[in-house]
Each structure stands twice: as structure tokens, then as C-alpha cells.
Chains A and B, each alone.
Chain A
């Protein structure tokens, strides 16, 4: 005590003490605080409040009033801390959330929320914990891709995506009644968000490993593929040899049998 009081005589001591105290706090905070959060609208507390209100009405019955999650009976609403704004944007704008009833998988259905409402919900959920933010338009802008980029996107698509979603994104089966949905007619942002959030059973493909330029190439490939006409004629379901076999029997053999019946028919006889 005598040591401290003996040095308190300098007039700058008070100011210095304050500054060093602040510096110390700042350093400590930087070291132990979580990394900067990428929020949809950081600090827009009004949006978050709106989101919380919407959440309470549409989401809390499964996910809990504070998004803490619950498992009771057939209701399985996972905790939402850390899913990020991108997940909300994806799930709600595709109509998957709110789920109409509990089930293995949330099917796509008409979305009833407006864009502002979705943004509010996203801001609220993002405030629960840091997670992937809604991507910027530049991230999923595929307008400047060359043919080689698109081809590389195709390779990436076939390596990472077609195992679940099929070679042209027509969808595929998962165990126990679940499925990977078709990717036809989706906008770029939706696809990007699915990759970074990993909805339901879909794994996460974050930006560090599958970089934004890789994701753009994949999305560009997919959209170009779907824009292109089916060169050979009618697509017949795009499910590969199974549908081809079906039509070979029905139209191919079927029409030829009809011709055969005509050829061998006795026809009307004149009396």
C-alpha cells in the first residue's frame, strides 16, 4: 500500500492509470472474446426484436422460445444457436420451415413470409450464436464464367453433389424415406446457402475447402445445364436407364405390337 501511495503524486498518474486499465481490459477482451460475428444486420436491434416476435409465433413451438431446441415426443426442433442467418434464409424462403408436421424430412412448400420478415428472423437467429451469414451477391454471381470454368464446375458437381442429387440434379433417395431434392429451377443464392449451411442431412461444404469460386463454378454449371435444351429429344423424366427402359417397352415394343396386330388383322369381310 505504501508503494502505491508513494507513486501517486505525479499529475499524469490518474490519466495513465485509466488508460492502462482500459488497455488491459481491451487486451484481455480480445484474447478471450469470441471472433467477430458476421451478422446479417449487426446491431440492428429493432430487426432482431421483430425477428424474435415472428420466431415466437412461427418457430418456438418446435425450436423453443429462445431457439434452445427441444425433443419431446415426435417434435424434434434442433437448437438454432450457430446455424446462422443463411440457414434461416434458406429454410424459410424455400418454405421448408416452418414444417407443417413432424417428419423425416422438411419438404419444400410455398413460403408465406415476406423478404423483410425473413431478414428479421435471420437477424434474430444469427443473434443467438455466430454462424454462416447470408452470402453477398458477388459470391453467387455466375455471369462471368468461361466454358472451362463451367466444365470445372461440372467436375466439382459430379465429385461432390451428384452422389445425392443425381447427374443433372434431378434428386435422389436417402435411407428411411428421406431424399435429396431436385435442384432444377432454383436460384443461385438458394444453392449457395444450402452448401454453406448443410440443411438437415446434407453435409456442410464451407468456403474454406470448397472455395467461393468453386461454388460459383458448380452453380454456373448446374444452371447452364438446365438452360440447355435436351439435345436428343424429350427428356422422359431424366432418370436414366429406368425411364428409358420403360419407354422402350411402352412406346417401342407397344407401338410395334399395334402395327403387328394391324398387319395380321383379317379385316372386315364383304358378304
Chain B
């Protein structure tokens, strides 16, 4: 059923005549009813006073803002029920906010109560252009093409299209230095390695104190870093930390499963795992001492550290990489070598065949 698009005419006639389309005819706009303020002078005066009051409060609040800005110190606190907050922030916001609010409320109140509220009618036009416009455009465009001589000399048009297409090429290629190109070589230097190396000590994060196994109890968790992280700073420090952070946990050897290939990766139930989740890279520290499960708070991937870090729940698809550890000459825990697999989130070129899977030995 097509609707009346009414080129500048009201559709009311249709709404009266077409019984099938309009079973109830249009009664037309309801008559305008006056508001109280239209008939009662006292009500109108009251509304006027209200609007003026709203507007009148605004300068007072604005001056209040200025006073608060200069007079209230930054360490003053307000303690009022559940609100224990910085006074200056609160007062600056209350003065300015209420000023804005009252200005707006006053304007709206004026419009609602006092301004003339007779509704007006405007007539719509079709969204499409008029036939006259369309005809003019078609005729003139024809002339435009003719005057450009494009139709006679087609090679201009074709070569133009080719030229316009390729002019974008320098702009696109110019972005090629947005970052280093992750070629195979680059990946091996960056995301496929960490700064762990044979003999690097495992140290406690933040304090950078080295660790001895006899100081670790069953059920203990240590957030660790490589000792050589301290030699770095700035962006390099952050980049390497984001890959080399580890956790060291001690479990009772009788309660965990250590595959034959990893028997010499641990020291009496002390195991070292990458701290970086294999899902999208959040650091994981939430370790359940009794179940040996490690829960990532970002998306709830859960790894069983008592079973070589396999995934037991959640969206992570690969086991948590384990760092083989040993003792150095002075009895501190050191890494035997770098991780055997890239740590952290997956990427397309990652060879995931070497990751530990349930049932591996």
C-alpha cells in the first residue's frame, strides 16, 4: 500500500475520503487549550517569578565557583554520610553544575509556561528533487559531458581513471613504516624469545631479591622476574617484562603430575611458569594453593599448574609455558634456558606443535 507523499499538500483530505485506508476519518488537529498561565494572570506572574529566580541564582552560583576555586584548599575533605570526598572537587562541581542546571531549567520553564504554545503546521516536501530540477540536471549534464569532449576522446577518460587509482599508491605505501615488519627473522628476535637465558637468576618482582628453594614453602607463590631485567629501562624494560614475567610455585610432589620430559625442570616440587596468559596476554597471579589452579582474571582461563599448565577452563587454547629451572653454584634458583615455546598470546605464524598437550610425556 503506498502512502500519500503529499507534495506540499496536507493529506487530510485523503484521510477523510479513503475509507479503506482510513476507517476512522481524521478529525483534524485538536483545538488548542489554554494553560493555567494563559488564563490566570497570577499563575503567569508566579511562573515569571520562578523563571527569574532560576536565572537569578546563576550569577550567585558562578561567583560561588570563583570563591571556591581560590579559597578551598586541595586537601580539604567533606565527610557526610556515605560521601567522603574532596571538598574542592565537590564544591566546584556543585556550583558550576547547579548554575548550568538552573539556567537550563529556567529556559525550559519559560518555554513551557509562558511562551506561546500553539502548535504550528508545516508541510512536507518529497525527499526526491522536483521533475524540473531533475530535467535540468540531466540536460545540463549531457552538455557538460559534451563540452568536456570526453566522449570523442575516450582515451582521456580511461587514462584518467588509471591515474586517479594509482595516485593513492604513494599515500598507502607511505604508511609502511608504521612499525617494523614482523618477518620470520624479526619475529624470532622479538615475540618468539624472552630475555631468559641459561644461568639467569629468578628474582622476586619489585624487590629483585634472588630466591633459594629452602625459603619456599609448599603452597607458596612467588611473582618473579629475570635478574637481568634490572639492566633495562624505559620501553625496553616494559617490553621484556611483558614477556618474561614468571610465577614460581611450590607443590607437594605427591599431589602433582610431572611428565618424564619435565622431571628435571623442577626442584623438589618447585615449578616455574610463564606469568603471561596464553589467551590474550594478561599476567596471571591468582593461584589456588589447594587445587593448583591458576585463574586469569581477564577472561577466566584456568590452568592446572600441577599438570604442566594445561588449560582446564576458559577460552585459552594452549598450556602455560613452563620455564626449566635449576640451582646455581650458590644455591639460588636460575633458569636453565629460555622458554621452549613463544610465551603469551597466539599469532598466526606461531608453531604450536611443541606446546604441551594433555597426555604428552
- Chain A residues packing against B (C-beta within 8 Å): 152, 155-156, 159-160, 163-164, 172, 174-175, 178, 180, 198, 200-206, 208-211, 214, 229-235, 262-263, 265, 267-271
Residues from chain A with a CB closer than 8 A to the CB of B285 are 159-160, 163-164
Q: Which of B38, B82, B216, B295 has the most CB of A within 10 A?
A: B295
* Alpha-carbon distance A232/B35, docked complex (angstroms): 44
B289 pairs with A231, CB closer than 8 A: no
From the candidates A211, A230, A267, name the one contacting B112 in the complex (CB within 8 A): A267
From the candidates B89, B220, B249, B283, name the one contacting A232 in the complex (CB within 8 A): B89
Instruction: Tell me if B290 counts as interface (CB < 8 A to partner A).
Output: yes
Secondary structure class of chain B's binding surface, majority of residues: mixed
A92 → B minimal CB distance (Å): 20
249-308 of chain B: CB within 8 A of chain A: 249, 283-291, 293, 295, 297, 300, 302
| Known A163-B284, A267-B112, A270-B38; contact A234-B82, beta-carbon cutoff 8 A | yes
| Known A175-B293, A175-B295, A209-B215; contact A155-B83, beta-carbon cutoff 8 A | no
B289 pairs with A202, CB closer than 8 A: yes
Instruction: Tell me if B26 counts as interface (CB < 8 A to partner A).
Output: no
| Known A160-B223, A210-B204; contact A175-B288, beta-carbon cutoff 8 A | yes
Residues from chain B with a CB closer than 8 A to the CB of A262 are 108
Q: Nearest chain-B residue to A163 (Cβ)?
A: B285
| Known A175-B288, A200-B290, A209-B209; contact A270-B215, beta-carbon cutoff 8 A | no
B206 pairs with A172, CB closer than 8 A: no
B47 → A minimal CB distance (Å): 11
From the candidates B35, B219, B302, name the one contacting A204 in the complex (CB within 8 A): B219
From the candidates B108, B209, B220, B297, name the one contacting A206 in the complex (CB within 8 A): B220
Q: Nearest chain-A residue to B40 (Cβ)?
A: A270
A209 pairs with B222, CB closer than 8 A: yes
Residues from chain B with a CB closer than 8 A to the CB of A175 are 288, 291, 293, 295, 300, 302, 313
From the candidates A201, A209, A263, A265, name the one contacting B216 in the complex (CB within 8 A): A209
Instruction: Tell me if B325 counts as interface (CB < 8 A to partner A).
Output: no
| Known A152-B206, A159-B205, A233-B85; contact A201-B291, beta-carbon cutoff 8 A | yes
| Known A229-B86, A232-B86, A270-B33; contact A204-B286, beta-carbon cutoff 8 A | no
* Top-10 shortest CB links A-B: A208-B215, A163-B285, A203-B221, A229-B84, A269-B33, A201-B288, A204-B220, A231-B86, A204-B219, A163-B286
| Known A229-B86, A230-B84, A230-B85; contact A204-B221, beta-carbon cutoff 8 A | yes
* Alpha-carbon distance A112/B160, docked complex (angstroms): 90
Contact with A along B29-71 (1 / 0, CB 8 A): 0000111101110000000000000000000000000000000
Tier of interface size on chain B: 35 or more
Residues from chain A with a CB closer than 8 A to the CB of B148 are none
From the candidates B40, B219, B300, name the one contacting A203 in the complex (CB within 8 A): B219
Residues from chain B with a CB closer than 8 A to the CB of A233 are 83, 85, 89-90
Residues from chain B with a CB closer than 8 A to the CB of A206 are 215-217, 220
Q: Nearest chain-B residue to A208 (Cβ)?
A: B215
A85 → B minimal CB distance (Å): 16
Residues from chain A with a CB closer than 8 A to the CB of B311 are none
- Chain B residues packing against A (C-beta within 8 Å): 33-36, 38-40, 77, 79, 82-86, 89-90, 108, 112, 204-207, 209, 211-212, 215-223, 249, 283-291, 293, 295, 297, 300, 302, 313
A155 → B minimal CB distance (Å): 5
* Alpha-carbon distance A233/B83, docked complex (angstroms): 6
Q: Which of B36, B211, B288, B313 has the most CB of A within 10 A?
A: B288
* Alpha-carbon distance A164/B36, docked complex (angstroms): 62
Other than the known A159-B206, A175-B313, A204-B219, what 7 A-B pairs have Cβ atoms closer than 8 Å? A164-B285, A198-B217, A198-B289, A209-B204, A230-B85, A234-B85, A269-B35
* Alpha-carbon distance A40/B211, docked complex (angstroms): 28
* Alpha-carbon distance A229/B291, docked complex (angstroms): 38
Residues from chain B with a CB closer than 8 A to the CB of A270 are 33-36, 38-40
A163 pairs with B297, CB closer than 8 A: yes
Could you write out 5 A-B pairs with CB less than 8 Å apart? Answer: A172-B286, A203-B220, A203-B221, A205-B220, A211-B209
From the candidates B82, B85, B108, name the one contacting A263 in the complex (CB within 8 A): B108
| Known A200-B289, A206-B215, A269-B35; contact A174-B220, beta-carbon cutoff 8 A | no
* Alpha-carbon distance A200/B36, docked complex (angstroms): 70
Q: Nearest chain-B residue to A262 (Cβ)?
A: B108
A220 → B minimal CB distance (Å): 15
Residues from chain B with a CB closer than 8 A to the CB of A200 are 289-290
* Alpha-carbon distance A268/B85, docked complex (angstroms): 42
* Alpha-carbon distance A235/B83, docked complex (angstroms): 8
* Alpha-carbon distance A159/B241, docked complex (angstroms): 13
* Alpha-carbon distance A134/B90, docked complex (angstroms): 44
Residues from chain B with a CB closer than 8 A to the CB of A263 are 108, 112
B40 pairs with A209, CB closer than 8 A: no
